Amino acid sequence: MSTATHDAAGAAPPAARGGGPLHWPRSLFARLALILCVGLVLAQTLSVWLTLTERDETTANMMMDYVEREVASSVALLDNLPPSERAAWLPRLARRSYTFMLDPGVPGVAPDATLSRRYESAIERGIGKHYALTVNAIPGDDEHLQVHLRLSDGSPLTIDVRPQTALPLSRWLPLVLIVQLVLLAFCCWLAVRVATRPLAALARAADGLGPDLKAEHLDESGPSEVARAARAFNAMQARIAGYMAERMQILASISHDLQTPITRMRLRVDTMDDDEQGTRLRQDLQEMEQLVKEGVAYARTLHGASEVPVRLDLDALLDSLVCDYVDAGSDVVYDTRTAVAVVTRAKALKRIVGNFVDNALKFAGAAEIALSAGPGGDDVTIAVLDRGPGIPEESLEKVFEPFYRLETSRNRGTGGTGLGLAIARQLASAMGAQLTLHNRAGGGLEARLVLRKNGVAQAGR
Protein backbone atom coordinates (compact mmCIF):
# COMPACT_ATOMS: atom_id res chain seq x y z
CA MET A 1 0.00 0.00 0.00
CA SER A 2 1.36 3.37 -0.94
CA THR A 3 1.93 6.12 1.56
CA ALA A 4 -0.80 8.26 0.00
CA THR A 5 -3.25 5.38 0.09
CA HIS A 6 -2.38 4.63 3.70
CA ASP A 7 -2.89 8.25 4.70
CA ALA A 8 -6.24 8.38 2.92
CA ALA A 9 -7.42 5.15 4.52
CA GLY A 10 -6.35 6.23 7.99
CA ALA A 11 -7.55 9.82 7.77
CA ALA A 12 -10.02 10.77 10.44
CA PRO A 13 -13.20 12.72 9.73
CA PRO A 14 -12.97 16.50 10.20
CA ALA A 15 -14.50 16.40 13.68
CA ALA A 16 -11.99 13.74 14.76
CA ARG A 17 -9.06 15.91 13.61
CA GLY A 18 -9.96 18.69 15.98
CA GLY A 19 -12.33 20.57 13.69
CA GLY A 20 -14.91 20.79 16.47
CA PRO A 21 -15.47 20.10 20.16
CA LEU A 22 -16.86 16.61 19.47
CA HIS A 23 -14.58 13.77 18.52
CA TRP A 24 -16.61 11.12 16.72
CA PRO A 25 -15.43 7.51 16.85
CA ARG A 26 -13.73 6.28 13.69
CA SER A 27 -15.81 3.13 13.13
CA LEU A 28 -19.44 2.93 12.02
CA PHE A 29 -20.08 0.35 14.75
CA ALA A 30 -18.97 2.75 17.50
CA ARG A 31 -20.91 5.68 16.01
CA LEU A 32 -24.19 3.78 15.73
CA ALA A 33 -23.76 2.26 19.19
CA LEU A 34 -23.01 5.70 20.67
CA ILE A 35 -26.02 7.33 19.01
CA LEU A 36 -28.41 4.55 20.05
CA CYS A 37 -27.08 4.31 23.61
CA VAL A 38 -27.15 8.08 24.19
CA GLY A 39 -30.62 8.36 22.66
CA LEU A 40 -32.04 5.51 24.71
CA VAL A 41 -30.38 6.74 27.92
CA LEU A 42 -31.82 10.22 27.38
CA ALA A 43 -35.25 8.76 26.62
CA GLN A 44 -35.08 6.55 29.71
CA THR A 45 -33.95 9.48 31.87
CA LEU A 46 -36.79 11.67 30.57
CA SER A 47 -39.26 8.85 31.18
CA VAL A 48 -38.08 8.41 34.78
CA TRP A 49 -38.23 12.18 35.36
CA LEU A 50 -41.76 12.40 33.99
CA THR A 51 -42.83 9.41 36.08
CA LEU A 52 -41.38 10.86 39.28
CA THR A 53 -42.85 14.28 38.54
CA GLU A 54 -46.30 12.79 37.92
CA ARG A 55 -45.98 10.69 41.07
CA ASP A 56 -45.08 13.73 43.18
CA GLU A 57 -47.96 15.74 41.71
CA THR A 58 -50.45 12.94 42.30
CA THR A 59 -49.12 12.42 45.83
CA ALA A 60 -49.43 16.14 46.57
CA ASN A 61 -53.05 16.21 45.39
CA MET A 62 -53.91 13.16 47.48
CA MET A 63 -52.12 14.66 50.47
CA MET A 64 -54.07 17.93 50.17
CA ASP A 65 -57.38 16.05 50.06
CA TYR A 66 -56.28 14.01 53.08
CA VAL A 67 -55.20 17.11 55.02
CA GLU A 68 -58.48 18.84 54.20
CA ARG A 69 -60.54 15.98 55.61
CA GLU A 70 -58.37 15.01 58.55
CA VAL A 71 -57.77 18.55 59.84
CA ALA A 72 -61.47 19.32 59.66
CA SER A 73 -62.30 16.14 61.63
CA SER A 74 -59.56 16.73 64.20
CA VAL A 75 -60.54 20.36 64.84
CA ALA A 76 -64.20 19.40 65.17
CA LEU A 77 -63.26 16.65 67.66
CA LEU A 78 -61.12 18.99 69.79
CA ASP A 79 -63.86 21.65 69.73
CA ASN A 80 -66.40 19.14 71.09
CA LEU A 81 -64.10 17.74 73.82
CA PRO A 82 -63.99 19.24 77.32
CA PRO A 83 -60.94 21.52 77.74
CA SER A 84 -59.44 19.12 80.29
CA GLU A 85 -59.35 16.21 77.82
CA ARG A 86 -58.01 18.01 74.77
CA ALA A 87 -54.31 17.68 75.69
CA ALA A 88 -54.60 13.89 75.90
CA TRP A 89 -55.93 13.71 72.33
CA LEU A 90 -53.20 15.81 70.75
CA PRO A 91 -50.71 12.87 70.21
CA ARG A 92 -53.48 10.78 68.68
CA LEU A 93 -54.39 13.49 66.19
CA ALA A 94 -50.79 14.28 65.19
CA ARG A 95 -49.64 13.23 61.72
CA ARG A 96 -46.31 13.12 59.92
CA SER A 97 -46.78 16.55 58.35
CA TYR A 98 -48.70 18.41 61.07
CA THR A 99 -49.43 18.50 64.81
CA PHE A 100 -51.86 20.39 67.07
CA MET A 101 -50.87 22.75 69.91
CA LEU A 102 -53.18 24.31 72.53
CA ASP A 103 -51.45 27.71 72.47
CA PRO A 104 -51.34 30.83 70.26
CA GLY A 105 -48.20 29.58 68.49
CA VAL A 106 -45.43 31.71 67.01
CA PRO A 107 -46.18 34.84 64.96
CA GLY A 108 -44.57 35.28 61.55
CA VAL A 109 -45.11 36.48 57.99
CA ALA A 110 -47.54 35.24 55.40
CA PRO A 111 -46.33 32.04 53.68
CA ASP A 112 -44.89 32.51 50.20
CA ALA A 113 -43.68 29.00 49.37
CA THR A 114 -45.80 27.11 46.86
CA LEU A 115 -46.19 24.01 49.01
CA SER A 116 -47.06 26.04 52.09
CA ARG A 117 -49.75 27.90 50.17
CA ARG A 118 -51.23 24.58 49.05
CA TYR A 119 -51.43 23.43 52.69
CA GLU A 120 -52.99 26.76 53.63
CA SER A 121 -55.62 26.40 50.91
CA ALA A 122 -56.41 22.81 51.90
CA ILE A 123 -56.89 23.73 55.57
CA GLU A 124 -59.01 26.76 54.70
CA ARG A 125 -61.25 24.59 52.54
CA GLY A 126 -61.69 22.16 55.42
CA ILE A 127 -62.31 24.50 58.39
CA GLY A 128 -62.26 28.05 57.05
CA LYS A 129 -66.05 28.25 56.88
CA HIS A 130 -66.41 27.61 60.61
CA TYR A 131 -63.35 29.26 62.15
CA ALA A 132 -61.39 32.45 61.55
CA LEU A 133 -57.88 31.47 60.50
CA THR A 134 -54.54 33.22 60.62
CA VAL A 135 -51.68 31.60 58.71
CA ASN A 136 -48.03 32.59 58.93
CA ALA A 137 -44.66 31.11 57.91
CA ILE A 138 -42.09 30.26 60.57
CA PRO A 139 -38.51 31.38 59.70
CA GLY A 140 -36.00 28.55 59.26
CA ASP A 141 -34.19 26.36 56.76
CA ASP A 142 -37.18 24.11 56.06
CA GLU A 143 -40.71 25.01 55.08
CA HIS A 144 -42.68 25.53 58.26
CA LEU A 145 -45.99 27.29 58.81
CA GLN A 146 -48.63 27.57 61.53
CA VAL A 147 -52.39 27.99 61.29
CA HIS A 148 -53.94 29.87 64.23
CA LEU A 149 -57.63 29.77 65.25
CA ARG A 150 -59.87 29.81 68.28
CA LEU A 151 -62.31 27.10 69.28
CA SER A 152 -65.94 27.75 70.21
CA ASP A 153 -65.05 28.40 73.86
CA GLY A 154 -62.32 30.89 72.86
CA SER A 155 -59.39 28.54 73.53
CA PRO A 156 -56.43 29.04 71.15
CA LEU A 157 -55.48 26.21 68.83
CA THR A 158 -52.42 26.14 66.56
CA ILE A 159 -51.85 23.68 63.71
CA ASP A 160 -48.09 23.33 63.27
CA VAL A 161 -47.47 22.22 59.65
CA ARG A 162 -44.21 20.94 58.14
CA PRO A 163 -45.13 20.35 54.45
CA GLN A 164 -44.12 16.94 53.06
CA THR A 165 -45.29 15.51 49.77
CA ALA A 166 -42.29 13.86 48.09
CA LEU A 167 -42.31 10.15 48.80
CA PRO A 168 -38.87 8.62 49.41
CA LEU A 169 -37.47 6.45 46.64
CA SER A 170 -37.30 2.75 47.23
CA ARG A 171 -33.81 1.44 47.81
CA TRP A 172 -34.11 -1.02 44.95
CA LEU A 173 -35.17 1.61 42.39
CA PRO A 174 -31.65 2.95 41.56
CA LEU A 175 -30.43 -0.62 41.14
CA VAL A 176 -33.31 -1.38 38.78
CA LEU A 177 -32.52 1.76 36.75
CA ILE A 178 -28.86 0.76 36.46
CA VAL A 179 -29.87 -2.74 35.34
CA GLN A 180 -32.19 -1.22 32.74
CA LEU A 181 -29.43 1.02 31.38
CA VAL A 182 -27.01 -1.90 31.19
CA LEU A 183 -29.65 -3.97 29.40
CA LEU A 184 -30.31 -1.11 26.95
CA ALA A 185 -26.58 -0.74 26.27
CA PHE A 186 -26.25 -4.48 25.64
CA CYS A 187 -29.24 -4.49 23.29
CA CYS A 188 -27.78 -1.51 21.40
CA TRP A 189 -24.42 -3.25 21.12
CA LEU A 190 -26.06 -6.46 19.90
CA ALA A 191 -28.28 -4.67 17.38
CA VAL A 192 -25.42 -2.62 15.96
CA ARG A 193 -23.17 -5.66 15.83
CA VAL A 194 -25.75 -7.62 13.86
CA ALA A 195 -26.31 -4.65 11.55
CA THR A 196 -22.63 -3.92 10.88
CA ARG A 197 -21.33 -7.50 10.74
CA PRO A 198 -22.04 -7.78 6.97
CA LEU A 199 -20.05 -4.57 6.42
CA ALA A 200 -17.13 -6.02 8.37
CA ALA A 201 -17.33 -9.21 6.29
CA LEU A 202 -17.39 -7.12 3.11
CA ALA A 203 -14.32 -5.17 4.28
CA ARG A 204 -12.45 -8.39 5.09
CA ALA A 205 -13.35 -9.81 1.68
CA ALA A 206 -12.16 -6.63 -0.03
CA ASP A 207 -8.89 -6.68 1.95
CA GLY A 208 -8.42 -10.34 1.08
CA LEU A 209 -8.89 -9.67 -2.63
CA GLY A 210 -5.21 -9.90 -3.51
CA PRO A 211 -3.44 -10.23 -6.82
CA ASP A 212 -4.50 -13.87 -7.11
CA LEU A 213 -8.19 -12.80 -7.11
CA LYS A 214 -9.10 -16.00 -5.31
CA ALA A 215 -10.77 -14.63 -2.19
CA GLU A 216 -13.71 -16.60 -0.85
CA HIS A 217 -17.14 -15.50 -2.00
CA LEU A 218 -19.33 -13.67 0.48
CA ASP A 219 -22.36 -15.40 1.91
CA GLU A 220 -25.37 -14.12 -0.03
CA SER A 221 -27.92 -14.89 2.68
CA GLY A 222 -29.38 -12.45 5.20
CA PRO A 223 -31.39 -9.24 4.78
CA SER A 224 -32.17 -8.18 1.24
CA GLU A 225 -29.78 -5.21 1.29
CA VAL A 226 -26.92 -7.35 2.63
CA ALA A 227 -27.60 -10.15 0.16
CA ARG A 228 -27.70 -7.67 -2.71
CA ALA A 229 -24.36 -6.12 -1.70
CA ALA A 230 -22.80 -9.59 -1.35
CA ARG A 231 -24.03 -10.64 -4.79
CA ALA A 232 -22.70 -7.41 -6.31
CA PHE A 233 -19.30 -7.91 -4.67
CA ASN A 234 -19.09 -11.55 -5.78
CA ALA A 235 -20.04 -10.58 -9.32
CA MET A 236 -17.47 -7.77 -9.32
CA GLN A 237 -14.79 -10.15 -8.08
CA ALA A 238 -15.64 -12.66 -10.81
CA ARG A 239 -15.54 -9.96 -13.50
CA ILE A 240 -12.17 -8.64 -12.31
CA ALA A 241 -10.76 -12.16 -12.24
CA GLY A 242 -11.99 -12.69 -15.79
CA TYR A 243 -10.47 -9.42 -16.97
CA MET A 244 -7.12 -10.21 -15.37
CA ALA A 245 -7.06 -13.74 -16.79
CA GLU A 246 -7.81 -12.32 -20.22
CA ARG A 247 -5.06 -9.76 -19.77
CA MET A 248 -2.50 -12.41 -18.84
CA GLN A 249 -3.57 -14.57 -21.77
CA ILE A 250 -3.15 -11.65 -24.18
CA LEU A 251 0.32 -10.88 -22.84
CA ALA A 252 1.29 -14.53 -23.00
CA SER A 253 0.05 -14.74 -26.59
CA ILE A 254 1.92 -11.60 -27.56
CA SER A 255 5.08 -12.98 -25.97
CA HIS A 256 4.70 -16.27 -27.80
CA ASP A 257 4.01 -14.56 -31.12
CA LEU A 258 6.95 -12.18 -30.70
CA GLN A 259 9.40 -14.99 -30.04
CA THR A 260 9.27 -16.18 -33.65
CA PRO A 261 9.99 -12.81 -35.38
CA ILE A 262 12.65 -11.98 -32.80
CA THR A 263 14.35 -15.31 -33.47
CA ARG A 264 14.20 -14.75 -37.25
CA MET A 265 15.65 -11.28 -36.82
CA ARG A 266 18.52 -12.64 -34.73
CA LEU A 267 19.29 -15.25 -37.40
CA ARG A 268 19.36 -12.57 -40.08
CA VAL A 269 21.59 -10.37 -37.93
CA ASP A 270 24.05 -13.25 -37.57
CA THR A 271 24.39 -13.39 -41.37
CA MET A 272 25.08 -9.68 -41.75
CA ASP A 273 28.49 -8.55 -42.95
CA ASP A 274 28.46 -5.28 -40.98
CA ASP A 275 29.72 -6.40 -37.52
CA GLU A 276 29.15 -2.97 -35.92
CA GLN A 277 25.52 -2.73 -37.01
CA GLY A 278 25.00 -6.41 -36.20
CA THR A 279 26.21 -5.90 -32.65
CA ARG A 280 23.83 -3.01 -32.13
CA LEU A 281 20.90 -4.94 -33.58
CA ARG A 282 21.67 -7.95 -31.37
CA GLN A 283 21.66 -5.68 -28.34
CA ASP A 284 18.30 -4.19 -29.37
CA LEU A 285 16.83 -7.65 -29.92
CA GLN A 286 18.06 -8.81 -26.51
CA GLU A 287 16.41 -5.79 -24.89
CA MET A 288 13.18 -6.51 -26.76
CA GLU A 289 13.24 -10.13 -25.64
CA GLN A 290 14.00 -9.12 -22.03
CA LEU A 291 11.17 -6.58 -22.06
CA VAL A 292 8.70 -9.17 -23.35
CA LYS A 293 9.78 -11.68 -20.70
CA GLU A 294 9.47 -9.18 -17.87
CA GLY A 295 6.08 -8.03 -19.13
CA VAL A 296 4.81 -11.59 -19.01
CA ALA A 297 6.45 -12.09 -15.61
CA TYR A 298 4.65 -9.01 -14.28
CA ALA A 299 1.31 -10.30 -15.59
CA ARG A 300 1.92 -13.66 -13.95
CA THR A 301 2.66 -12.04 -10.58
CA LEU A 302 -0.96 -10.89 -10.53
CA HIS A 303 -1.71 -14.58 -10.02
CA GLY A 304 1.34 -15.15 -7.84
CA ALA A 305 -0.63 -17.03 -5.16
CA SER A 306 -0.66 -20.08 -7.44
CA GLU A 307 2.62 -21.12 -5.81
CA VAL A 308 1.91 -23.40 -2.85
CA PRO A 309 3.15 -21.95 0.48
CA VAL A 310 5.64 -24.14 2.33
CA ARG A 311 7.28 -23.98 5.72
CA LEU A 312 10.94 -23.11 5.39
CA ASP A 313 13.91 -22.04 7.46
CA LEU A 314 14.28 -18.40 6.52
CA ASP A 315 17.85 -18.14 7.83
CA ALA A 316 18.95 -21.14 5.75
CA LEU A 317 17.25 -19.81 2.62
CA LEU A 318 18.94 -16.41 2.87
CA ASP A 319 22.30 -18.00 3.68
CA SER A 320 22.03 -20.19 0.57
CA LEU A 321 21.12 -17.18 -1.55
CA VAL A 322 24.08 -15.18 -0.25
CA CYS A 323 26.46 -18.08 -0.85
CA ASP A 324 25.40 -18.16 -4.51
CA TYR A 325 26.27 -14.48 -4.87
CA VAL A 326 29.59 -14.90 -3.06
CA ASP A 327 30.51 -17.84 -5.28
CA ALA A 328 29.83 -15.61 -8.29
CA GLY A 329 32.28 -13.02 -6.90
CA SER A 330 29.68 -10.51 -5.68
CA ASP A 331 30.13 -8.49 -2.49
CA VAL A 332 27.09 -9.64 -0.48
CA VAL A 333 27.15 -9.90 3.33
CA TYR A 334 24.70 -11.65 5.65
CA ASP A 335 25.66 -11.03 9.29
CA THR A 336 22.43 -10.08 11.11
CA ARG A 337 20.57 -13.38 11.55
CA THR A 338 17.54 -14.69 13.42
CA ALA A 339 16.41 -18.30 13.73
CA VAL A 340 12.85 -18.21 12.43
CA ALA A 341 10.69 -20.43 10.27
CA VAL A 342 7.96 -19.03 8.04
CA VAL A 343 5.15 -20.43 5.94
CA THR A 344 5.46 -18.60 2.64
CA ARG A 345 6.16 -18.97 -1.08
CA ALA A 346 9.85 -19.74 -1.45
CA LYS A 347 10.29 -18.87 -5.14
CA ALA A 348 8.52 -15.54 -4.80
CA LEU A 349 10.58 -14.68 -1.71
CA LYS A 350 13.87 -15.53 -3.43
CA ARG A 351 12.89 -13.44 -6.44
CA ILE A 352 12.07 -10.41 -4.28
CA VAL A 353 15.30 -10.57 -2.28
CA GLY A 354 17.32 -11.33 -5.39
CA ASN A 355 15.84 -8.33 -7.18
CA PHE A 356 16.97 -5.94 -4.45
CA VAL A 357 20.38 -7.57 -4.11
CA ASP A 358 20.90 -7.19 -7.86
CA ASN A 359 19.88 -3.52 -7.67
CA ALA A 360 22.25 -2.94 -4.74
CA LEU A 361 25.12 -4.55 -6.61
CA LYS A 362 24.26 -2.56 -9.73
CA PHE A 363 24.12 0.87 -8.07
CA ALA A 364 26.34 0.45 -4.99
CA GLY A 365 28.64 -2.48 -5.83
CA ALA A 366 27.82 -4.25 -2.54
CA ALA A 367 24.78 -5.43 -0.57
CA GLU A 368 24.01 -6.43 3.01
CA ILE A 369 21.14 -8.64 4.11
CA ALA A 370 19.68 -8.47 7.65
CA LEU A 371 17.01 -10.72 9.19
CA SER A 372 15.19 -9.72 12.37
CA ALA A 373 12.03 -10.63 14.27
CA GLY A 374 9.53 -8.01 15.39
CA PRO A 375 8.36 -7.45 18.99
CA GLY A 376 6.96 -10.70 20.34
CA GLY A 377 8.18 -12.57 17.26
CA ASP A 378 4.94 -11.88 15.39
CA ASP A 379 6.58 -10.23 12.38
CA VAL A 380 9.76 -11.04 10.49
CA THR A 381 11.71 -8.36 8.59
CA ILE A 382 14.16 -8.98 5.78
CA ALA A 383 16.22 -5.91 4.92
CA VAL A 384 18.53 -5.46 1.93
CA LEU A 385 20.87 -2.51 2.51
CA ASP A 386 23.38 -0.68 0.37
CA ARG A 387 25.39 2.53 0.33
CA GLY A 388 24.38 3.65 -3.15
CA PRO A 389 22.90 6.98 -4.23
CA GLY A 390 19.48 6.20 -2.76
CA ILE A 391 16.15 7.41 -4.13
CA PRO A 392 14.52 10.85 -3.78
CA GLU A 393 11.89 10.85 -1.05
CA GLU A 394 9.10 11.79 -3.46
CA SER A 395 9.92 8.74 -5.63
CA LEU A 396 10.08 6.03 -2.94
CA GLU A 397 6.55 4.89 -3.85
CA LYS A 398 6.54 5.82 -7.51
CA VAL A 399 9.34 3.36 -8.30
CA PHE A 400 6.88 0.52 -7.63
CA GLU A 401 4.69 1.65 -10.53
CA PRO A 402 5.06 -0.38 -13.75
CA PHE A 403 7.54 1.08 -16.28
CA TYR A 404 8.54 3.93 -13.93
CA ARG A 405 12.29 4.55 -14.09
CA LEU A 406 14.43 7.05 -12.17
CA GLU A 407 16.97 6.97 -14.97
CA THR A 408 15.26 8.89 -17.79
CA SER A 409 17.47 7.76 -20.65
CA ARG A 410 16.25 5.16 -23.11
CA ASN A 411 19.18 2.88 -22.27
CA ARG A 412 17.79 -0.37 -20.85
CA GLY A 413 21.20 -1.27 -19.53
CA THR A 414 21.27 1.68 -17.13
CA GLY A 415 17.58 2.35 -16.58
CA GLY A 416 16.14 -1.14 -16.84
CA THR A 417 12.63 -1.91 -18.00
CA GLY A 418 10.88 -0.38 -15.00
CA LEU A 419 9.13 -3.64 -14.11
CA GLY A 420 11.48 -5.18 -11.55
CA LEU A 421 10.16 -3.32 -8.50
CA ALA A 422 6.57 -3.59 -9.72
CA ILE A 423 7.00 -7.37 -9.92
CA ALA A 424 8.55 -7.43 -6.43
CA ARG A 425 5.64 -5.43 -4.97
CA GLN A 426 3.07 -7.73 -6.63
CA LEU A 427 4.83 -10.83 -5.32
CA ALA A 428 5.01 -9.35 -1.81
CA SER A 429 1.30 -8.55 -1.92
CA ALA A 430 0.54 -12.12 -3.05
CA MET A 431 2.54 -13.39 -0.06
CA GLY A 432 0.65 -11.17 2.37
CA ALA A 433 3.83 -9.19 3.08
CA GLN A 434 4.62 -5.48 3.04
CA LEU A 435 7.44 -4.12 0.89
CA THR A 436 8.79 -0.60 1.39
CA LEU A 437 11.88 1.44 0.55
CA HIS A 438 13.71 3.76 2.95
CA ASN A 439 16.70 6.04 2.52
CA ARG A 440 19.44 5.29 5.05
CA ALA A 441 21.12 7.83 7.27
CA GLY A 442 24.51 8.59 5.78
CA GLY A 443 23.43 7.58 2.27
CA GLY A 444 22.16 4.42 0.70
CA LEU A 445 18.89 2.56 0.46
CA GLU A 446 17.08 -0.04 2.58
CA ALA A 447 14.55 -2.38 0.99
CA ARG A 448 12.38 -3.72 3.83
CA LEU A 449 10.18 -6.79 3.43
CA VAL A 450 7.91 -7.48 6.43
CA LEU A 451 6.24 -10.87 6.62
CA ARG A 452 3.15 -10.45 8.74
CA LYS A 453 2.28 -12.60 11.75
CA ASN A 454 -0.07 -14.82 9.75
CA GLY A 455 2.04 -17.75 8.69
CA VAL A 456 5.03 -16.79 10.84
CA ALA A 457 6.25 -19.03 13.64
CA GLN A 458 9.38 -19.28 15.73
CA ALA A 459 11.73 -22.00 14.61
CA GLY A 460 11.63 -25.05 16.78
CA ARG A 461 8.05 -24.65 17.92
pLDDT, residue 301, reads 64
pLDDT, residue 60, reads 77
pLDDT, residue 342, reads 84
DSSP 109: B
Contacts by residues 198-201 (CB-CB < 8 Å, ≥ 24 positions apart): 198/222, 198/223, 198/226, 198/229, 198/230, 199/28, 200/29
Q: Per-residue pLDDT tens for 162-210?
A: 887 566 667 787 888 888 888 888 888 888 888 778 777 777 777 766 6
* Cα distance between residue 424 and residue 435, in whole Å: 8
Looking at domain 210-306, its CATH class is: mainly alpha
Q: Shortest CA distance to 295 belongs to which of 407, 427, 417?
A: 417
* Cα distance between residue 352 and residue 372, in whole Å: 17
Those residues with Cβ within 8 angstroms of residue 247's Cβ, 6 or more apart along the chain or in another chain: 299, 302
Q: Which residues of the chain have pLDDT under 70?
A: 1-22, 165-169, 208-216, 252, 255-256, 274, 294-306, 376-377, 407-418, 453-461
* Cα distance between residue 148 and residue 133, in whole Å: 6
How many C-beta atoms lie closer than 10 Å to residue 254's C-beta?
A: 14
What's domain 307-458's architecture?
A: 2-Layer Sandwich (3.30)
Q: Phi and psi at residue 148, in whole multiples of 5°?
A: -110, 140
DSSP per-residue letters across 281-318 = HHHHHHHHHHHHHHHHHHHHHTTGGGSPPEEEEHHHHH
* Cα distance between residue 128 and residue 147, in whole Å: 11
pLDDT, residue 166, reads 61
**Domain edges within the chain:** 25-207, 210-306, 307-458
